[in-house]
Chains A and B, each alone.
Chain A
C-alpha cells in the first residue's frame, strides 16, 4: 500500500471519529447580567504581528467569517460562525471569542467531564452548523483556536468577564405568546430573514441566515432554547438596532422562531424524540423539543 493510500485511510478514519459527538453537553452557561459593562477590548487588526502567528490568526478569521464556503465538509447548513458571534467574534453580549477562550478547559457537572476549547468548537459544528466537526488536531481547528486566543490577548484566564455569552433576559410574568411573536417577526425580522425564516441569498450564498428549516441550526444547538434565542435577539437584533425590542417582544419572537422545525438533534436516542427529550431537553432551559404545540409534536426534524 502506498503512503498516499495510507494517508487517505487515515483521513477516512479521522472523519469516522469526527462523526462521534465529543461534546454532548450543550446546556447553557451561567453569564453575568448585561448591566455589568463590558470593559474588555480585543486587539486591533493593526496589532497583528507579520509572522507565522499573524498569518494563522488571519486564516482563523477567514474561517470564522466565511465558514460555510471554506469548510463545506464541516458545515451542513447555511450558517457561518459570525452569524451568532457578531462583529467577527468581537462583540460583547454576542458570545465573543474573547469571553469564551479563557474559560476552557472547563469542567461541566452535567456530563462530569472536562471539555477543551477544541471540543467546544466541535460542538458548534455538530449542532449550530449541523455538520461534521473538524478533528481537534486539524489545521482548521488550530486556525480557529489561534484566532480566538488572539482575540483574548491580555484577558484573564478562568474569569467570567462581563460581555461573555448572551446575557439572560428575564422571562416576563405573562410568559410568551406565539401569535404576538409572529407579529414581531413580520414587522421586524422578515425584511432580512424572509417571511418563512428562509434567509436571503445572493450568488448561491446566504447573506441573511435562515432561522428555521433544513439550512438552520439543529434541535441540539443552544440557540434552539427559547431563552438563549431571546438573549441573542434582545442584545443583537435587528442588526444595527440592538436592545430595541422589549423583553416581552424578544421572548415572543424567539418562541415563534423556535417552534418551527429544523434538522433533528444528532444525539437522537434510538429514533425516539421522547427519549431524546428526557435525556437532553427536559432540564435544558426553556425549549419546545418533544412537546406538542397546537396539537403538533415539535422536534421531528427536517429530514436533513
Chain B
C-alpha cells in the first residue's frame, strides 16, 4: 500500500504542475514565449482566440490540444508552410507548445447548432458539405468533420466558426502542396478534386451559413 501522505504529496505536485502549465499557456497566449521571436497568439488570433476573418487568421479557441500541438510541430518541420508561423513555432519550447495548446483548447467557443445529415441537399454547396460528390471520390465534409462541421477527435478539426478566407487558404495549400501534414493524406485528395468555385462554396458554407446560425 502507498502511504496516504505520499499520495497527497504526489497529488499536490500534479496539481501544482497543472497550474504551472495553465499559467504558462495563458502567458504564451497573451504575452508570447520566453524567446522574443515566439510572439503572443493574441496579436493575430484575437483576445477571444476566435481569429481575425479580414486577415484570414484562424480561430484557435476550443480546437483540440492534440491538433494544435501537431500543427505547431508541423510548422517546425515544414510539412505545413506559413511565413509567420514557421519561425514562431521554432521559437516556442516543447513545454510552451504543450501548455499553449492546452490553454487554447480550454477557451470557450460560441454555441453551434448540430446540423444533421437528414434532408436531401437543396443546393450544390450543401450537397458537397453534407454528402460530397462520389463520382469524383469526394466525401461530404461532415462525414469526417462531424455534424455541422463541429470537429471530431484530434484529427478532424472544427470547420464551423473558421473564417472563410482561412478555409479557402487551407484547401488551396493542400492543392498546391504547401500543406502536406494530413494524416494518411486524407485531405489532399479531396482538396485536389475540388475546383476554385467549390473551394469557395464549401468554405462559405461552414464560415457563414452555419457560423451565423450559431451566433444567433
Contacts and interface: CB of A to CB of B under 8 A. Distances in A.
Interface string B122-159: 00000100011010011100111011001111010000
Interface string A37-63: 000000001001000000000100110
18 contacts: A48-B120, A62-B118, A62-B119, A65-B118, A86-B134, A191-B155, A192-B144, A202-B146, A202-B150, A202-B152, A205-B147, A207-B143, A207-B146, A238-B186, A240-B138, A241-B137, A241-B185, A241-B189
B117 to A, nearest CB: 5
A91 B144 CA distance: 18
Contacts of B120: 45, 48, 58, 61
A90 B121 contact: no
A61 to B, nearest CB: 6
A202 B151 contact: yes
A87 B152 contact: no
A239 B147 contact: no
* 8 closest cross-chain pairs (CB), A and B: A202-B146, A87-B134, A240-B139, A66-B118, A62-B118, A45-B120, A207-B146, A207-B152
B169 interface: no
Contacts of A203: 114, 146-147, 150
Contacts of A238: 184, 186
Instruction: Give the interface size bracket for A toward B.
Output: 20 to 34
A240 B137 contact: yes
A172 interface: no
A208 interface: yes
B189 A240 contact: yes
A202 B147 CA distance: 8
A208 B144 CA distance: 7
A200 B153 contact: yes
Given A239-B143, A240-B137, A240-B189, 19 more contacts: A45-B127, A48-B120, A65-B118, A82-B117, A87-B132, A87-B134, A191-B184, A192-B144, A200-B152, A202-B147, A202-B150, A203-B147, A207-B142, A207-B143, A207-B146, A208-B152, A239-B144, A241-B137, A241-B189
